Amino acid sequence: MSSDANSVIPPAMRNLLKIRDYREQHREKCISITLDVDPDVIDVRGNIHGSFIVLATIVAAENAAKMSIHEDEFLVAVNHSVNFLKQPETLSEIEISSCVSNRTDRLIYVTTTMSSLDTDIANSITIFIAEKFS
């Protein structure tokens, strides 16, 4: 199922991340995002800047986690752990896949992968608390 990134991701994030495609799989509680590569996120050595990787993976994780909360809840990120794996030799579009791996009463665990072509760039685990509005 395809969704409109305009309705779920704030404009500043959409513009910075250069989102080309955004898809939600509600049954699996997963999202996939395709990003165009912006030269502004490449460092002086030609690598994707680490802060861009962290930002993109937490935005993806948050949007996946939103699919498992109720209307009376909001998310608080309590841990975002990123493993930087490898920089791609040829930089093409970036694919991000993020899925809820577990939900307890209050905790939501999300796993995310980032890749370009056949290169896994990074993976992350993000933990959210689902808080109730008072």
* pLDDT digits 0-9 by tens, 81-111: 999 999 998 888 999 999 999 999 999 999 9
Mean pLDDT for 117-121 is 94
User: Residue 102: how many CA atoms within 13 Å on its side-chain side?
Assistant: 6
CATH class of the domain defined by 5-132 = alpha beta
Question: What's the pLDDT tens digit per position in 23-55?
Answer: 999 999 999 999 998 888 888 888 999 999 999
What pTM was estimated for this model as a whole? 0.92
Cα–Cα distances in angstroms (integers) from residue 128 to residues 2, 28, 41, 80, 108, in the given order:
24, 18, 27, 9, 5
- Give the model's pLDDT for residue 47: 92
